[in-house]
Amino acid sequence: MSTTQRIPIQAWSGDVLNERGQREVFCGLTGIIWLHRKMQDAFFLIIGSRTCAHLMQSAAGVMIFAEPRFGTAIIGERDLAGLADAHEELDRVASEVLACRPNIRTLFLVGSCPSEVIKLDLERAAQRLNQRWHPQVKVLNYSGSGIETTFTQGEDACLQALVPHLPLSAKAPAQLLVVGTVADVVEDQFSQLFKSMGLNNVAFFPPRRSAELPAIGPGTRFVLAQPFLSDTARALQAMGMECISAPFPLGVQGTTGWLKAIAQSFGIDEQRVESVIAAPKARALKALEAHRAALANKRIFFFPDSQLEIPLACFVHHELGMTLTEVGTPYLNRHLMAHDLARLPANTTLSEGQDVDKQLQRCQQAEPDLVVCGLGLANPLEAQGVATKWSIELVFSPIHGYEQAGDLAALFHRPLKRRQLIGQRKGELAWN
């Protein structure tokens, strides 16, 4: 059964089309692909079925040449009497993984949705393994189940599990914690900008090494770099940390707004910020020019997938001149999204949740030039002649900050160029 209702929101003058029905999104296991690249000393052990193993293999297929730091303990059909064996099997696989990899410092047991796994108490399993492997390895658990999470929520669940382990330090805690996985190159660029602004003690969470979690203290504030971290933000606030309210650092406007909100929170002079950002901002504006010329007035439709949709919609509309037909998001956290919501044009159709058949109909009626969607919808839409961009690519790629603004624009430009080339090629073939 599906439902559709309109709910008014603050900070944005339009309505939200709220839908509950069949949805086409990846589960939270997918987050392992970028989390294991970020935390070089962590291993992700999925407790799941063959389906989970296949998903990870195909989603992360390119990594077959390197030894991946994730694996699947297959828990097959078992009745309740078989649960003790399942725990034994889990301990055996975990011990095997750790014995072969002495550099691993954190083992994440990642839950999934097969009913055999739901019956397992992974928190208890993590406690048991912690006793066995302490102090060499910390064992934590979280859920990446498709029943509970969409694909970016896996990161939220993983970081939430790490929050209670952030060390408290009264002496030298971080001034600022930047929360959400960003590419190392982006982290280095932001660190440099913060240093030039006078913020020297900035830490990133998750860190590159899970064994070196940043120390926090009474004065530590945090800012989100990714919009899909509601539970992590709540957990940090519950520890007494203040959240700096800001737009997300995508594109020139988002990055400028993000940096200025941080600077304002620390009482940094606006002129100093302007002089620090002047050169990278000018480079980013230059990098956007060619893409803007090609993308202006093109119509774009976002299916709900990553929760990055609203900040991305602001970017393509304000900085590339694209027309928003519909912006879908799997969940809408009005509080964390307030700045970006306020930047959405008032006539935008904003939808939360999904009823995929109805949304496909709206997409067809809107006749967009470009559709941003999950892998499951991309192929059928391409077959109908619609250019698509996989939303997962926007999560895997370094897209934050000034230096990446041009690359971010190129991700939207490329599918249209490809369509154009295919059209030309067909024309040439017909002519010959």
DSSP 79: -
**How many Cβ atoms sit within 10 Å of the Cβ of residue 171?**
6
Q: What is the CA radius of gyration of the chain?
A: 22
Which of 24/89 has CB closer to ligand SF4?
Answer: 24
The region of 143-151, 161-169, 193-201, 337-345 touching ligand SF4 under the rule CB under 6 A is: 143-151
For residue 149, the minimal CB distance to ligand SF4 (Å) is 8
Q: Min. distance of Cβ 114 from ligand SF4 in angstroms?
A: 6
- Using CB under 6 A as the binding rule, whether residue 32 contacts ligand SF4 is answered as no
Q: Residue 72 interacts with ligand SF4 (CB under 6 A)?
A: no
49 binds ligand SF4 (CB under 6 A): yes
Report the distance separating Cα 112 and Cα 408, nearest Å. Answer: 32
Segment contacting ligand SF4 by CB under 6 A, of 94-102, 140-148, 247-255, 256-264: 140-148
**Segment 284 to 323, residues that bind ligand SF4, using CB under 6 A:** none
Q: Which is nearer to ligand SF4, 51 or 397 (CB)?
A: 51
Contacts 24+ apart (CB under 8 A), 390-395: 391/302, 391/303, 391/305, 391/306, 391/308, 391/309, 392/26, 392/30, 392/59, 392/151, 392/305, 392/306, 394/306, 394/308, 394/312, 395/34, 395/151, 395/152, 395/306, 395/308
In angstroms, what is the minimal distance from the CB of 377 to ligand SF4?
A: 16
Give me the least distance between CB of 119 and ligand SF4, in Å please: 14
Decide: is 150 part of the binding site for ligand SF4 (CB under 6 A): no
DSSP element (H, E) containing 264? helix 251-265
Binding of ligand SF4 by 392 (CB under 6 A): no
Provide the minimum distance between the beta carbon of 29 and ligand SF4 in the complex, in angstroms, as a whole number.
Answer: 5
User: Is position 29 an interface residue for ligand SF4 (rule: CB under 6 A)?
Assistant: yes
Q: Does 110 bind ligand SF4 (CB under 6 A)?
A: no
Q: Is 114 in the site for ligand SF4 (CB under 6 A)?
A: yes
27 binds ligand SF4 (CB under 6 A): yes
Q: Give the nearer residue to ligand SF4 in terms of CB position, either 43 or 190.
A: 43
Contact 126/109 with Cβ under 8 angstroms?
A: yes
User: Cα dihedral sign for 305, 310, 315, 321?
Assistant: positive
Q: Exactly one of 112, 150, 160, 230 binds ligand SF4 (CB under 6 A); which one?
A: 112
Interatomic CA distance for residues 215 and 202, integer angstroms: 10
Q: How buried is 181 (Cβ within 10 angstroms: 0-12 exposed, 13-18 middle, 19+ buried)?
A: buried
Is residue 329 a contact residue for ligand SF4 (CB under 6 A)? no
Closest CA to 315 of 334, 287, 351: 287
Nearest alpha carbon to residue 144 among 175, 189, 112: 112
**Residue 377 contacts ligand SF4 per CB under 6 A:** no
In whole angstroms, the minimum distance from the beta carbon of 48 to ligand SF4 comes to 5
The answer to the question of residue 253 lying near ligand SF4 (CB under 6 A) is: no
Residue nearest ligand SF4, CB atom distance: 146
* Count of chain residues binding ligand SF4 (CB under 6 A): 13
Transcribe 159-208 into DSSP letters.
Answer: HHHHGGGSPB-SSS--SEEEES---HHHHHHHHHHHHHHT---EEEES-S
Q: Record the tokens describing residue 185, joined without a space.
A: 């190159």
The stretch among 110-118, 312-320, 381-389, 391-399 that binds ligand SF4 (CB under 6 A) is 110-118
Nearest-approach distance from CB 153 to ligand SF4, in angstroms: 12
Residue 374 contacts ligand SF4 per CB under 6 A: no
The b/e string for 262-287 (b: 16+ C-beta within 10 A; e otherwise) is bbebeebeeeebeebbeebbeebeeb
By CB under 6 A, name the one of 11, 15, 18, 51 that touches ligand SF4: 51
Angstrom distance (rounded) from CA 386 to CA 404: 26
Of 344, 387, 336, 342, the closest CA to residue 363 belongs to 387
| Footprint (CB under 6 A) of ligand SF4, residues 52-71 | 52, 55
Q: Quick one: 104 or 113, whose CB is closer to ligand SF4? A: 113
Q: Where on the chain is the footprint of ligand SF4 (CB under 6 A)? A: 27, 29, 48-49, 51-52, 55, 112-114, 144-146
